[in-house]
A = this chain, B = another copy of it.
Amino acid sequence: MKHARGQQRKTRQRQVILEELRRVVSHPTANEVHHMVTRRLPRVSLGTVYRNLESMSRSGVILKLETAGTRRRYDGTPTPHYHARCTGCGCVADLRMEPLEDLERRAQGATGFSIMGHRLEYIGVCARCAGKKRTQREE
């Protein structure tokens, strides 16, 4: 093949997107990242944010969380870990917990698939929502 793959250039936009994403513990949506980045680069377009989040998750620099619901969230920490999603506000938190290797072994034979990985997502109520009488859903 001639041009195996295009080079990845280091642009201000990509850099700021990554910095902002790493700066927070939450797992923002593309739109939220766009807002965060806008404070430093007022003219970035949402399309650019999407393109960079996509390319960075492709190269493994960040994680594209495909959790429940329609909209995607992104995680600046690419090491494997689990998430907990709040039924109240829809926020997603990291779990300080070792990935469980035995899970995949336990699933072998339960289907015709060759299992290559797994995604474990806990459902619950975050501390902030637990303190409210009535939680309002943002998602």
Contacting pair B107 A97 (CB below 8 A): yes
Query: Are A94 and B113 also in contact (CB < 8 A) when A66-B68, A118-B120 are?
Result: no
Q: How large is the interface on A (under 10, 10 to 19, 20 to 34, 35 or more residues)?
A: 35 or more
Chain B residues with CB under 8 Å of A97's CB are 106-107, 110
Interface residues of A: mostly helix, strand, loop or mixed? mixed
Q: Which of A68, A69, A94 has the most CB of B within 10 A?
A: A68
Chain B proximity of A91: nearest CB distance (Å): 10
Chain A residues in the interface with B (C-beta under 8 A): 66-70, 72, 82, 84, 86-87, 93-97, 100, 103-104, 106-107, 110-127, 130
Of B95, B106, B116, the contact of A100 (CB 8 Å cutoff): B106
